[in-house]
């Protein structure tokens, strides 16, 4: 898809379709009034007759409107002006895309940028329009034999800005939107690949490919023998039952000052999770290919940072394994020693994500990080607590938590903070080791984070449980690419704060 910005009146756009907002109670937007005046009241007459009310989701496609140079004018209902927020703006853009896909138009001039979204400027609207458009157009059909398009595809969007003074700002927003959208797209593709293709080795190769594409990206991959030397007994206990060797991937993006402490993202990369000896139920087990979506989001956000050449240092660390049952797989009751030296009683082999993350969280101490944020499809309890809307957030540093909450509000990729109180630590007690890997039935998301917190005492750390947001089930089954948008916005905020 090609995106660009342009200033100019809507009636003078020589293009396939001009998209114009209309508000509830039949209120015309500024661009609608311009076209209405040029067409001798054509738009207002249609509105007066009730052809479109302006409610959210309303559409009206017009052809050959008098005194306009475009082939079509698409009126989009935006609801009440005062009620338009981040989510509403996303829905408006999705309505536009779905309508245009069946219109035959391939080049579009969008005046939705004039819609007022509370506390959001033109840059935000352009960037998030691109993300919404690409989200609606995304398809994963690489593995289908028939990839033919049924209609002429959309190929170009022009976003309207109010004057030449906004062109440079708009062009930067286009670059950001395209880079973040590409990162989300990459995370989706990785998540949607089946477990027989997207293995730990495949993730390592994709990370090495990223380094070949960008001169300031360096990727290193540790093999199982390297992890054994480092004492990563917890991580390696998960991969014992699989023929796929574990990998520990490090992607270093270095574009900031050499003395600048890096942001470190740690992504859970279980490429298929059978549950191990604590075998999961068969129904829905196919969706356990998505247990590497934390890793996918880390690769996606590093890709976005590199595409934008952000002046900052960011490191992605991905512990990646396959969790399978086997004669030498870990058993419930086994005790392993983590890289930190702490011992863990494995009461449930299906609580494997924390076993690979804890060694990775110890490993990242070597980078002297500014902050560490881990991203993991960690607990079904998070879905019970928060559903499919926000990711769960827990942190040992309130300023970091607040920064992530703010980035979530800006990006629309939201998270919600849960308590990380010492009261919950008692649930991890073991009679035979320093800790158990599960904390019983209550507060499963919190006790999982409490477990991880025992390995993060040397730096500021936050944990994002994305079990509820990383993929969708049912008719719309597929990876969402979350939380690439949230993480990218967090990095952008850090860059802005450093200026």
Closest to 412 in 3D by CA, of 161, 101, 93: 93
Q: Which of 125, 354, 414, 494 is catalytic?
A: 354
Residues 6+ positions from 149 with CB-CB distance below 8 Å: none
* DSSP strand pairing (371-376 vs 17-23): unpaired
Residue 475 CA, distance from chain mean position: 20
Q: Which of 6, 27, 280, 472 is catalytic?
A: 280
Report d(CA 309, CA 307) in Å as an integer.
Answer: 6
The DSSP code sequence of 260-316 is SPPEEEEE-EEEEE--TTSPPPSTTGGGGGGGGHHHHHHHHHHHHHHHHT-SSEEEE
* DSSP strand pairing (313-323 vs 269-273): parallel
Helix axes 398-411, 484-498, angle to 10 degrees: 110
Helix axes 444-453, 353-363, angle to 10 degrees: 30
Closest to 32 in 3D by CA, of 58, 51, 10: 10
The DSSP code sequence of 450-491 is HHHHTT-TTS-EEEEE-TTTSEE-GGG-EE--TTHHHHHHHH
**Rounded alpha-carbon distances, angstroms, from residue 414 to 63, 92, 133, 391, 446:** 39, 19, 19, 7, 18
Neighbouring CB atoms inside 10 A of 258's CB total 6
Report d(CA 336, CA 451) in Å as an integer.
Answer: 14
Strand partners, 267: 375
Check if 280 is active-site.
yes
The CA angle 225-248-314, to the nearest 5 degrees, is 145
334-339: which pairs have CB atoms within 8 A and are 24 or more residues apart? 334/237, 335/432, 335/433, 336/233, 336/234, 336/237, 337/231, 337/233, 337/234, 338/231, 338/232, 338/233, 338/234, 338/362, 338/455, 339/230, 339/231, 339/232, 339/233, 339/234, 339/235, 339/363
Check if 454 is active-site.
no
Report d(CA 294, CA 482) in Å as an integer.
Answer: 9
User: Which residues are annotated as catalytic?
Assistant: 280, 354
């Amino acid at each position: 898809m090609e995106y660009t910005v342009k200033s100019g009146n809507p009636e003078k756009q020589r293009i396939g379709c001009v998209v114009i907002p209309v508000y509830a109670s039949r209120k015309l937007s500024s661009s609608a009034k311009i076209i209405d005046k040029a067409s001798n009241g054509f738009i207002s007459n249609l509105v007066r007759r009730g052809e479109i009310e302006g409610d959210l989701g309303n559409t009206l496609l017009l052809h050959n409107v008098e005194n306009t140079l475009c082939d079509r004018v698409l009126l989009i209902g935006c609801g009440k002006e005062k009620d338009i927020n981040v989510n509403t703006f996303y829905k408006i853009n999705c309505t536009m895309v779905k309508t245009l896909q069946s219109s035959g138009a391939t080049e579009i001039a969008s005046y939705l940028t004039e819609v007022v979204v509370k506390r959001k400027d033109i840059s935000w609207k352009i960037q998030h329009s691109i993300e919404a458009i690409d989200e609606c157009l995304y398809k994963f059909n690489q593995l289908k034999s028939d990839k033919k398009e049924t209609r002429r595809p959309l190929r170009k969007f022009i976003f309207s800005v109010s004057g030449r003074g906004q062109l440079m700002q708009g062009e930067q927003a286009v670059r950001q939107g395209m880079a973040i959208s590409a990162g989300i797209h990459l995370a989706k593709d990785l998540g949607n690949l089946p477990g027989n293709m997207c293995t730990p080795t495949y993730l390592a190769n994709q990370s090495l490919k990223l380094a070949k594409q960008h001169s300031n990206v360096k990727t290193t991959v540790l093999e199982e023998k390297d992890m054994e030397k480092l004492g990563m007994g917890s991580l390696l206990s998960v991969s014992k039952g699989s023929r796929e060797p574990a990998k520990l991937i490090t992607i270093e993006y270095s574009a900031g000052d050499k003395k600048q402490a890096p942001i470190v993202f740690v992504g859970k990369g279980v490429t298929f999770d059978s549950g191990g000896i604590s075998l999961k139920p068969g129904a829905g087990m196919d969706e356990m290919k998505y247990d590497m979506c934390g890793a996918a989001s880390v690769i996606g956000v590093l890709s976005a940072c590199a595409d934008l050449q952000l002046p900052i240092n960011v490191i992605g660390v991905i512990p990646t394994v396959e969790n399978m049952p086997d004669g030498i797989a870990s058993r419930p009751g086994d005790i392993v020693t983590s890289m930190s030296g702490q011992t863990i009683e494995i009461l449930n082999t299906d609580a494997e994500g924390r076993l690979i993350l804890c060694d990775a969280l110890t490993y990242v101490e070597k980078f002297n990080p500014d902050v560490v944020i881990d991203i993991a499809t960690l607990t079904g309890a998070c879905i019970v607590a928060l559903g499919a809307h926000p990711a769960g957030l827990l942190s040992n540093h309130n300023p970091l938590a607040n920064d992530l909450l703010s980035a979530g509000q800006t990006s629309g990729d939201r998270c919600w903070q849960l308590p990380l109180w010492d009261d919950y630590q008692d649930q991890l007690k073991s009679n035979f080791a320093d800790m158990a890997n599960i904390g019983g039935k209550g507060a499963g998301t919190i006790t999982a984070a409490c477990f991880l917190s025992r390995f993060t005492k040397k730096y500021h750390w936050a944990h994002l449980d994305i079990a509820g947001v990383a993929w969708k089930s049912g008719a719309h089954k597929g990876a969402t690419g979350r939380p690439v948008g949230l993480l990218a916005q967090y990095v952008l905020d850090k860059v802005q704060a450093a200026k």
